[in-house]
Amino acid sequence: MPTMNVSLTKEMVEFVEDEISRGDYVSASEVVRDALRVLRQDRDAREAALQLLRAEVQKGIEDEEAGRFSDRSVNEIFDVVMREHKA
């Protein structure tokens, strides 16, 4: 496995050491790899949400251009969209 040297703040080093001492991880490398997995998942989730938002905005633009309007509030529409995409 390739290696990489990384500089951490004192607080980050203490956090890594605490995670190891709790027994959740056996090495600093495991802590960092797990943190990077979580970061990747978070970024992927944000990108998916952004793509969904862009698609919904485009639908709204198309509806407006076609003269289709809704009397629902933005919050009501948001709730419906979120329910539809959680299913």
Look at residue 87 in the predicted model and tell me its pLDDT: 61
Closest CA to 27 of 58, 3, 60, 59: 3
Residue 39: CB atoms within 10 Å: 10
Q: What is the pLDDT of residues 22-76, one digit of tens each?
A: 999 999 999 999 999 999 999 999 999 999 999 989 998 999 899 988 888 989 9
Burial 45-68 (b: 16+ CB within 10 A, else e): eeeeeeeeeeeeeeeeeeeeeeee
Can you give the pTM of this predicted structure? 0.67
Residue with the bigger pLDDT between 33 and 1: it is 33
Contact 60, 54 (CB under 8 A): no
The residue extents of the domains of the chain are: 10-86
Closest CA to 1 of 26, 24, 29, 28: 29
